[in-house]
């Protein structure tokens, strides 16, 4: 059994679109909760580590708890702060919006790990070579930026241009490093554009070699994704996922709501279930050796 990241890039990209877009545009508490659970589980199972998660949970609670202090809509008043009401509706809206933001961040973290630059080039190359080039360059510049920042920062400190024990001096040094980095990025962008133009990129119809093939397992995964997404979109079209926070929390609950949420649950947990099943099958094979 191949891993989820080894499926055809088109299939994986469509799955990510099917799971991310509803999480972004359907602000329903249950769907958002499923989204954050699925995204965090996928990240944890894929990396087998909880390191780096603390900052996102701090951000989650910061956004959620700050919302009721700025927005006082809602009819269920919990308490007052400086004569400003803190309402239950604003608090739950803050938690839902915060969960949506964090879940999308986690989805894109796994997306950037699975959809490498060559896979993105395969997905968008035939349709729009320029878009594929921009996406692959953007992903490539992320690690390059980190490496270049470290180089420039170390050089600046070695030359004695700023000291970190002086807050003002350190701030000026960081601004100088940022300015150098922007200049470096612009110069490299112009150089890359000239190099691609000299090689005739975008002139005429472009052909390229690809190792990716659309197999039977890709067709099965694509069919499952489309069926589950169809059930979810059908529920959204029938207002089965309609939910309002203000002035009072009201939502539509029907059998179609349960079907839509069940479909999104299966969709969000699909790669996690696949990964766990793959590891279980691998351990079972090893036990037979």
Report pLDDT digits (tens) over 131-188: 766 776 776 777 787 788 888 888 877 877 766 667 777 777 778 888 888 888 888 8
Given a cut of 90, is residue 276 above it in pLDDT? no
What does the domain layout of the chain look like in residue ranges?
4-117+216-288, 122-198
CA distance linking residue 188 with residue 138, whole number of Å: 12
> Rounded to the nearest 5°, which phi and psi values hold at 41?
-60, -45
- E strands, the chain, are 77-81, 84-87, 243-244, 250-251
Q: What is the pLDDT of residues 43-95, one digit of tens each?
A: 888 887 766 677 888 888 888 888 888 878 888 888 888 878 888 888 899 99
Residue-wise pLDDT for 98-132, tens only, equals 999 999 999 988 888 888 777 877 887 666 666 76
Give residue 287's pLDDT: 79
**What pLDDT, on the 0 to 100 scale, is given for residue 59?**
85
Q: Round the CA-based radius of gyration of the chain to a whole number and report it.
A: 24
Q: Higher-confidence residue: 25 or 120?
A: 25
**pTM for this prediction:** 0.74
* 1: pLDDT strictly greater than 80: no
**Mean pLDDT value across residues 262-288:** 85
């Amino acid at each position: 059994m191949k891993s989820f990241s080894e499926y055809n890039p088109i299939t994986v990209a469509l799955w990510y679109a099917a799971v991310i877009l509803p999480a972004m545009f359907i602000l329903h508490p249950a769907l958002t909760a499923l989204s954050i659970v699925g995204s965090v589980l996928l990240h944890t199972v894929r990396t087998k580590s909880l390191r780096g998660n603390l900052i996102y949970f701090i951000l989650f609670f910061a956004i959620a708890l700050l919302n009721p202090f700025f927005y006082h809509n809602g009819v269920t008043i919990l308490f007052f702060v400086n004569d400003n009401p803190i309402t239950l509706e604003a608090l739950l809206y803050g938690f839902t919006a915060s969960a949506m933001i964090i879940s999308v961040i986690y989805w894109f973290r796994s997306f950037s790990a699975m959809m490498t630059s060559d896979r993105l080039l395969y997905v968008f190359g035939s349709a729009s070579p320029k878009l594929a080039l921009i996406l692959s360059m953007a992903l490539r510049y992320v690690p390059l930026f980190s490496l270049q920042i470290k180089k420039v920062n170390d050089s600046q400190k070695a030359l004695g241009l700023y000291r970190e024990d002086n807050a003002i001096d350190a701030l000026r040094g960081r601004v100088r490093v940022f300015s150098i980095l922007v200049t470096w990025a612009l110069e490299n962008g112009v150089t890359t554009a000239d190099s691609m133009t000299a090689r005739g990129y975008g002139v005429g119809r472009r052909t390229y070699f690809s190792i990716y093939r659309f197999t039977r397992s890709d067709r099965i995964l694509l069919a499952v994704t489309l069926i589950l997404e169809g059930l979810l979109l059908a529920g959204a079209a029938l207002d089965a996922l309609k939910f309002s926070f203000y002035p009072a929390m009201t939502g539509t609950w029907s059998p179609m709501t349960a079907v839509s949420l069940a479909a999104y649950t299966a969709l969000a947990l699909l790669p996690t279930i696949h990964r766990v099943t793959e590891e279980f099958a691998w351990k079972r094979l090893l036990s037979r050796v």
